[in-house]
Amino acid sequence: MISPDLSESVDMERKSMAMGAVAESPLTQGVLYAGSDRGAFWITHDDGKNWIERSEGLSNGYIRSICPSRFNESRVYVAVTGINYDDLGNYLYVSEDYGKTWRSIVSNLPNEVAYVILEDPKNENILYAGLYRGVYITVDRGDRWSLLGPGMAATAVSDLVIQEREGDLVVGTHGRGIYKMNVRPIQKAFEEEALQAAILFETPEANLPRMNDTRGGPDFRTLEKVSITFYLMEAAEVEIQVINEGGKTVWSKSFAGKKGFNQYRWNLVIKRMDSPKPYFWEYETFAKPGRYQIQIIGDNIHLKGQLVIVN
């Protein structure tokens, strides 16, 4: 056991039934945070030998998510939900001094329940928040938020995690399964400052689906689309082209580009056909393994990049 009964807050309105979250600083061993189901927030600097309550300034809801910063030891983010108590407001906070003082970072977010907050592992200014109806992102530490991926189902986001090796943001939802998206283009875009020109981001290596062992055709359960991501300064009609090493365009797609980030997820199919023949299975023809050039073409837009397809 590394703590006394942390449900016993000095504030009677925060007297709790259980703890809702615990997290350790990624910068300093022994700096631990804990939060209760009634907004009591605790910190220890010595692996639990001594605990200090730092709840003043937080709402007295359920502390569902604690995210200590990996860029500043004294910085910590908290998401508090009141849904257990019929409070559907939005409560996201940051402290720059180990919880001594708290500041709301709700800003322009919709006034709906917040379940989780996550700091980007590459950029301290980028945060992700899981709300009652989707995932939101800020690139200025909470001054301004935007909906991340408008095509995602409007569902409660229970948890967020970033797989750092792949650069994938994985989203766990309440009732609508698991989603993921690659956030490397976002990290790249805001490495230094806001983008000043259109850009085609690096496209990850693409894997062809495996072939069935006992019957012809690909095993579509193993098919994973490749994300082609680009940024436009203004909305424009563009064409995405994939060109082989011989200079031939093997696939193209017209795309209504929006101002800002755009992404098309290609399934690597370059040709489709139907046939009345029995046992026919070659409905889709996939691109062959190799190196390709990707181009984004439009009025005053000519972006180039590389794509590698492997078996």
Q: pTM for this structure?
A: 0.86
The predicted-structure confidence for 260-311, as pLDDT tens digits, reads as follows: 889 999 999 998 887 787 766 677 889 999 999 999 999 999 999 999 999 8
CATH assignment of the domain containing 56: 2.130.10.10
CB 307 within 8 Å of CB 291:
yes
One domain, residues 119 and 233: no
Domain contains 84: yes
Read off the amino acid at residue 65.
S
Q: What is the pLDDT of residue 277?
A: 75
Number of structural domains, the chain? Answer: 2
Domain contains 3: no
CB 283 within 8 Å of CB 270:
no
| Domain housing 33 | 12-189
Cα separations in angstroms, 125 against 118, 134, 170: 11, 20, 19
**CA atoms of 132 and 10, how far apart (whole Å):** 31
One domain, residues 132 and 17: yes
One domain, residues 23 and 92: yes
**CA atoms of 230 and 264, how far apart (whole Å):** 9
DSSP state, 28?
S
One domain, residues 56 and 155: yes
The predicted-structure confidence for 76-88, as pLDDT tens digits, reads as follows: 999 999 999 999 9
One domain, residues 149 and 206: no
CA-based angle 219:225:231, to the nearest 5? 175
